[in-house]
Structure 1
Amino acid sequence: MKKIAVVGSGFSGVVIAQKLAEEGYSVEVFEQRFHIGGNSYSYRDEESGVMIHKYGPHIFHTDNENAWNFMTKHTQMMPYVNRVKSTVNGQVYSLPINLHTINQFFQKALSPKEAKAFIESLSDKSIEEPRNFEEQALKFIGKDLYEAFFKGYTIKQWGLDPKELPASILKRLPVRFNYDDNYFAHKFQGMPKNGYTEVFEKALDHQNITLHFNRVFKREECTNYDHVFYSGALDAYFDYKLGRLDYRTLDFKMQREEGDFQGTAVMNYGDTNIPFTRISEHKHFAPWEEHDKTVYFEEYSRECGSDDIPYYPIRLTGKQLLLKEYIELAEMEKNITFVGRLGTYRYLDMDVTIKEAFDVADKFLTLKESETMTTFVVDPLA
């Protein structure tokens, strides 16, 4: 059997490991943490009985049937609709901005057509081609909604003035002119009944898969395998020889209470005088369960240090040169494929990660004996 190394046991690594193991390959999975699942790891809190998303909320949503089928193959998916709220200036509103948000915020009773015309009247028509995030928002929705729901939250989340962020971040008009407060618009939406960890455990339960925990995979070990699938940080693979790529990391402050703290799973805080970006109350991610106690987390975003867990890549134009240099180094490697959020330095939803992992595994299985495969799934600079 050919020997395969998979670095990381998040969705990228687990999908690839399972697929190749089923095809007869001998797969070793290296995980530097004490658990599988990457940032999607979940566990049952002993004191409250609540299922906790250790690294922040993960709601599964997709239009990709293969990604949904992967989940339902390994767990029972329960119906779940993500209804996000936002506290601004002492008032609670629904997100994404919808007809109820507009009417409540401006103290009106507009119809959909009236609301469209009203928002259009608020937009900054002096901006023809938005140059940054702020201008894009002002062109779309005007000053009042932008400052209430986007400006402060964005400053706290990214540690940057919105004028420094590219306009492409805000790609679509973030407004619905009906009363739909479902945060996502995908065909399949849900939560794993027994948490995400069950998915990873079942996917890795194969005689051809060997797991190594608390184990950092070194570049020089690649020669021990016929091929390596690397979902760790791209710059870490090269021991940061060119410098570190920029990430934001998150800190979570856990709180416990009796009963119900906020009555919803996610509450955003757009005011800059409140240091955290949102509070997530995890028992509301499993509405089919009942708990007398509750656990909630204040979420703080900051610059990622050398000992922190990287969450969000900061893909600013000024940093693209360093990324390009790392990509050039990666393309010189042999028999290795860089995958996932960290390996390709992109923010990826879970379903996209699953889809791309299947694509990578399928491509690998079609390679001829003499071919090597060193590739990014898509152009990381796009």
Structure 2
Amino acid sequence: MEKYDYVIVGAGLFGATFAYEAKKRGKKCLVIDRRNHLGGNIYCENVEGINVHKYGAHIFHTSSKYIWDYVNQFVEFNRYTNSPVANYKGEIYNLPFNMNTFNKLWGVIRPEEAKAKIEEQKKAANITKPSNLEEQAISLVGTDIYEKLVKGYTEKQWGRKATELPAFIINRLPVRFTYDNNYFNDSYQGIPIGGYNVIIDKMLEGIDTELETDYFEEKERLDNLADKIVFTGMIDEYYDYRFGNLEYRSLKFEHEIVDSPNYQGNAVVNYTDSETPYTRIIEHKHFEFGTQEKTVITKEYPKEWGKGDEPYYPVNDEKNTALYKKYKQLADQEENVIFGGRLATYKYYDMHHIISQSLKTVAKELGSRPLVSPAENMNTI
């Protein structure tokens, strides 16, 4: 029986980065995954010559030159800039909220006019200490933006009334008083040319992998194969839901090939009214400026997570945070299991955060020099 230094459970970005770095240091790894493909949620499927983001849109962005250079060693990135639009009952608005949005809403032209309009609505709402998401949003952007562009989308996304959601979820609501439709403020942004599979395939080149392999069904065999396990799955599942299950929001995707070269004119269109059952439509070819004769669209339907569903967004309210801490106490006592990634740490991370977290884990585990500058400390992200 072949022995490994690490069996890595999950072939997503955390696991692939760990495996790549461990191999560079002379370690032997086996990477397994329940699914029939590598790459986790960043996996792309080629349909009609288009790289379809199978598990929702992924746009790479970071302000860290180190992380940007790191991913660019595997693939060249294009110049894609995330500029989603919102469709509210047929009215189109630019996101994030900026002067183009305010001009469409109120006809204002100058930033002072937009600020005055928001202040007027905030004052009329008379909210002094926001106690829920609705009050927090109105106190940040006023009632018009909240009603048209926040309320319906957020309630669909979380499956709860905005008045029942904690205020902190929307603390970072982006509001700009410039005519700038770039959703992210980061220095670097783009889509890997050829899709995300190129990154994962290069990371895992020369590393043993097993697909359609459930860790829990073959735990004894897999545990005996390696000195240590790197676990990137759900931490509550690892402990057999000993304290109960953590809550997640899941997604259902409807992919459709459209016999047209251009369906909606933008990669991402959010549907912010409450009547439309899906939250957004992704048109994948626009991520790579495709000119194919057909196009592929994906409708995203948020849903409550249940066992057997794919968990996407942790519900980081007080109840779930307290529950996660119980599981983390168990995890901290493990000597031969390393927990990493969004599911194992019950926190939503962007891709650059995951790479940073994985590099830090490698540095800590293998005693090498820090691979990320102090400014990248995950506690500050």
Q: TM-score, normalised by structure 1?
A: 0.91
- 4+ long deviations beyond 3 Å: 218-224
In structure 1, C-alpha distance between the alignment counterparts of 2:14 and 2:71, rounded to whole Å? 13
Where 1:318 maps in the other structure, the secondary structure is: helix
In structure 2, C-alpha distance between the alignment counterparts of 1:101 and 1:136, rounded to whole Å? 20
Where 2:302 maps in the other structure, the secondary structure is: strand
Contact 1:99–1:179 under 8 Å retained in 2: yes
* Matched AA of 2:320: K
2:374 corresponding residue in structure 1: none
1:323 corresponding residue in structure 2: 324
Contact 1:66–1:355 under 8 Å retained in 2: no
Q: Which runs of 5+ in 2 are unaligned?
A: 369-376
Where 1:3 maps in the other structure, the secondary structure is: strand
In structure 1, C-alpha distance between the alignment counterparts of 2:224 and 2:335, rounded to whole Å? 9
Where 1:280 maps in the other structure, the secondary structure is: strand
1:7 corresponding residue in structure 2: 9
In structure 2, C-alpha distance between the alignment counterparts of 1:366 and 1:50, rounded to whole Å? 42
In structure 2, C-alpha distance between the alignment counterparts of 1:4 and 1:299, rounded to whole Å? 36
2:307 corresponding residue in structure 1: 306
When the two structures are aligned, how many residues end up with a matched partner? 365
Q: Tell me which of 207, 210, 213 is aligned to 2:208.
A: 210
In structure 2, C-alpha distance between the alignment counterparts of 1:7 and 1:197, rounded to whole Å? 18
1:348 corresponding residue in structure 2: 349
The correspondence of residues 1-382 of structure 1 with structure 2, limited to 5 A, is: 3-45=5-47, 48-106=48-106, 108-124=107-123, 126-206=126-206, 209-218=207-216, 220=220, 221-222=222-223, 224-257=225-258, 258-287=260-289, 289-366=290-367
Per-residue CA shift, 1:19-67, capped at 9, x if unaligned? 111101111111111111000001211xx21110000110011112222
* Matched AA of 1:139: S
In structure 1, C-alpha distance between the alignment counterparts of 2:103 and 2:362, rounded to whole Å? 49
Q: CA deviation at 1:83?
A: 1.0
Contact 2:156–2:277 under 8 Å retained in 1: yes
Contact 1:4–1:228 under 8 Å retained in 2: yes
Q: CA deviation at 1:162?
A: 1.4
Cα RMSD after superposing both structures: 1.9
Q: CA deviation at 1:2?
A: 6.5
Per-residue CA shift, 1:196-215, capped at 9, x if unaligned? 01100001113xx2111111
* Matched AA of 1:147: E
Q: CA deviation at 1:114?
A: 2.1
2:371 corresponding residue in structure 1: none
Where 2:113 maps in the other structure, the secondary structure is: helix
Contact 1:75–1:199 under 8 Å retained in 2: yes
Where 2:200 maps in the other structure, the secondary structure is: helix
* Matched AA of 2:42: S
Contact 1:102–1:115 under 8 Å retained in 2: yes
Contact 2:89–2:273 under 8 Å retained in 1: yes
Q: CA deviation at 1:173?
A: 4.7
Contact 1:276–1:301 under 8 Å retained in 2: yes
Q: CA deviation at 1:378?
A: 6.3
In structure 1, C-alpha distance between the alignment counterparts of 2:326 and 2:172, rounded to whole Å? 31
Per-residue CA shift, 1:121-147, capped at 9, x if unaligned? 221463233222111111111111101
Q: TM-score, normalised by structure 2?
A: 0.91
In structure 1, C-alpha distance between the alignment counterparts of 2:233 and 2:146, rounded to whole Å? 36
In structure 1, C-alpha distance between the alignment counterparts of 2:288 and 2:378, rounded to whole Å? 34
Contact 2:257–2:295 under 8 Å retained in 1: yes
Q: Which runs of 5+ in 1 are unaligned?
A: 368-376
Greater shift in the superposed pair: 24-33 or 151-160: 24-33
Where 2:191 maps in the other structure, the secondary structure is: strand
Where 1:78 maps in the other structure, the secondary structure is: coil
Greater shift in the superposed pair: 120-129 or 174-183: 120-129
In structure 2, C-alpha distance between the alignment counterparts of 1:378 and 1:240, rounded to whole Å? 27
* Matched AA of 1:114: E
In structure 1, C-alpha distance between the alignment counterparts of 2:268 and 2:212, rounded to whole Å? 32
Q: CA deviation at 1:224?
A: 4.2
* Matched AA of 2:13: F
